[in-house]
């Protein structure tokens, strides 16, 4: 049975205004907006903070209208270099979770987490972790939608704002999505809303209930696409991050539902993380020369350690062995573990400058490489996680 995809959509809240408030924290407590052509009364509002939104100020309205609603509105000019800076940093952070990161403007991204995490409960924890990291590391806030396709993931990120996570699962999308206005659906603009109103379609559910042939005659191919979106039909892939060729490291981390309290818990999680990282290395035809671990304990203290390998590798066993060594040498179990991650750094193209160590067991390595690639093939054909290492299954495997 084919597994549901797990897609996240991360949308920065009031991005331009929020970046402006980083440089000017005094604007956090007053209504403020980013505006073009501030010297001209006919310039428009590009973004606004929550205080300004409370006055009914809207993006794209002209300055004089906004000032009429809020005479004390503070206006600042756009700072595009800063927006680009934060946008790039945020995208780089997302690649710590998956290499399938597709930007949608400066302040939005889709992340495909299919196969990296097991279900929507875990996806919600990852979404919450991303929101926390955006707050803690960048002093910004974002909303995250979690769903089984790109369209509903984006709709989820718009559902609650600011700083919220919304999960839309295959079994619940009708009760969440269908009552919403048709205008909330991806690619439904003002013109389409007018056309839909003519046939008494006001909600997404109204659109989903129409006969697709009727929609095709009335709205053409675009209408059919929107009808599919309304019914949860969206197979469009999440593209790989554009600077994929510049990948310097590949990692994976997890925050389990319960803190890790024993070495066996950690060994099982490290093996799972190492397997995922190794598979992604092979996918990109890369090998790692450094293994790193990242541990956050219950008190949120962070411990990071790394080790250089004798030779480049893309094998889960080698990566897992080094990760375990690093953990066992560095962590004293002073308290349980909240989250843990494995990262392979200083990656090189497979075979590039590779020099075999005198300790290399060629026959064993070739056998392990064949097994790993066979597992990759099975997981690619039948879904990620179809074949896993025995140690990942734990007591219930």
Q: Which residues are catalytic?
A: 108
Closest CA to 372 of 346, 394, 350: 350
| Token pair in block for residue 163 | 């700083």
Helix residue spans in the chain (DSSP H): 15-23, 50-53, 63-69, 80-94, 120-138, 150-159, 173-177, 190-198, 204-209, 212-230, 263-283, 316-330, 362-382
Q: How far apart are CA 9 and CA 108, in angstroms?
A: 7
Q: How far apart are CA 134 and CA 105, in angstroms?
A: 17
How does strand 249-254 pair with strand 337-345? antiparallel
Closest CA to 150 of 168, 165, 162: 168
Phi, psi of 154 (to 5 degrees): -65, -40
Q: How far apart are CA 149 and CA 350, in angstroms?
A: 33
Q: How would DSSP label each residue in 29-63?
A: GS-EEEESSTTSTT-BEEEE-HHHHTTT--TT-BH
Q: How far apart are CA 12 and CA 25, in angstroms?
A: 18
How does strand 7-12 pair with strand 142-147? antiparallel
Q: How far apart are CA 185 and CA 152, in angstroms?
A: 8
Closest CA to 244 of 91, 78, 82: 91
Dihedral sign for Cα 375, 377, 379, 382, please. negative
DSSP conformational letter for 269? H
């Amino acid at each position: 049975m084919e597994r549901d995809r797990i897609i996240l959509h991360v949308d920065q809240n009031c991005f331009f205004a929020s970046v402006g408030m980083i440089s000017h924290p005094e604007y956090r407590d007053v209504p403020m907006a980013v505006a073009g052509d501030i010297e001209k009364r006919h310039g428009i509002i590009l973004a606004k903070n929550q205080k300004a939104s409370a006055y009914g100020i809207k993006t794209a309205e002209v300055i004089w209208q906004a000032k009429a609603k809020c005479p004390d509105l503070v206006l600042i000019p756009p700072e595009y270099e800063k927006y680009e800076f934060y946008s790039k940093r945020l995208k780089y952070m997302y690649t710590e979770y998956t290499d399938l990161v597709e930007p949608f403007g400066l302040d939005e991204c889709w992340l495909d987490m299919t196969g990296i995490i097991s279900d929507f409960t875990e996806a919600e924890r990852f979404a919450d972790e991303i929101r926390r990291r955006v707050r803690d590391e960048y002093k910004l806030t974002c909303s995250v939608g979690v769903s089984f396709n790109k369209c509903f993931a984006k709709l989820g990120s718009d559902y609650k704002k600011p700083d919220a996570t919304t999960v839309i699962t295959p079994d619940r999308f009708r009760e969440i999505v269908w009552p919403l206005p048709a205008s909330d659906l991806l690619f439904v603009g003002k013109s389409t809303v007018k056309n839909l109103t003519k046939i008494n379609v006001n909600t997404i559910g109204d659109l989903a209930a129409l006969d697709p042939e009727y929609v095709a005659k009335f709205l053409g191919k675009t209408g059919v696409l929107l009808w599919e979106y309304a019914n949860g039909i969206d197979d469009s892939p999440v593209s790989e991050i554009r600077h994929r060729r510049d990948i310097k490291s590949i990692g994976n981390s997890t925050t389990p539902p319960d803190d890790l309290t024993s070495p066996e818990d950690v060994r099982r999680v490290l093996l799972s993380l190492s397997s995922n990282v190794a598979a992604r290395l092979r996918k990109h035809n890369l090998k790692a020369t450094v293994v790193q671990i990242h541990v956050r304990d219950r008190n949120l203290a962070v411990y990071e350690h790394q080790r250089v390998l004798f030779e480049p590798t893309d094998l889960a066993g080698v990566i897992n062995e080094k990760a375990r060594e690093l953990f066992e040498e560095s962590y004293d179990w002073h308290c349980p573990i909240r989250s843990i991650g494995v990262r392979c750094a200083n990656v090189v193209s497979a075979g590039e400058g590779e020099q075999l160590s005198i300790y290399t067991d060629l026959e064993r390595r070739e056998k392990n490489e064949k097994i790993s690639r066979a597992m990759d093939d099975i997981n690619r054909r039948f879904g990620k996680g179809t074949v896993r290492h025995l140690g990942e299954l734990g007591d219930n495997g």
